[in-house]
Amino acid sequence: MKGLAKIIGIILGILGLSAKATKAKKAKVKKIDTKVKTIKKQKAQVQKKKVAVQKKKAAVKKTQKKAPKKKPSVKRARKARASLKARAKK
């Protein structure tokens, strides 16, 4: 009987249906699941960083779009003095 049980165990082991085989398969699946979870977390972190960078880029573009203000051309000395004083106050 023991010999018959061993033969049945060997056949089931070959087919992958024995307890040892299922235990090994479950362990492999568990390892893969943990790797998948860590990769998902990393992916979410990268996505958050990407969104933050895109917001910063948009803010930089908005500031760059402003047209430069032309300084008024001054033809007389009094106006030149007044404009310099106004700039100094700013």
Task: Kindly report, residue by residue over 35-63, the tens digit of the pLDDT.
Answer: 999 999 999 999 999 999 999 888 877 76
Location of structure tokens 């060997």 = 10
- Scored b (16 or more CB within 10 A) or e, 4-24 reads eeeeeeeeeeeeeebeeeeee
Distance CA(7)–CA(86), nearest Å, equals 101
Q: Angle at the Cα of 6 (from 5 to 12), degrees rounded to 5?
A: 90
pTM above 0.85, yes or no: no
- Scored b (16 or more CB within 10 A) or e, 59-69 reads eeeeeeeeeee
Residue 16 pLDDT: 67
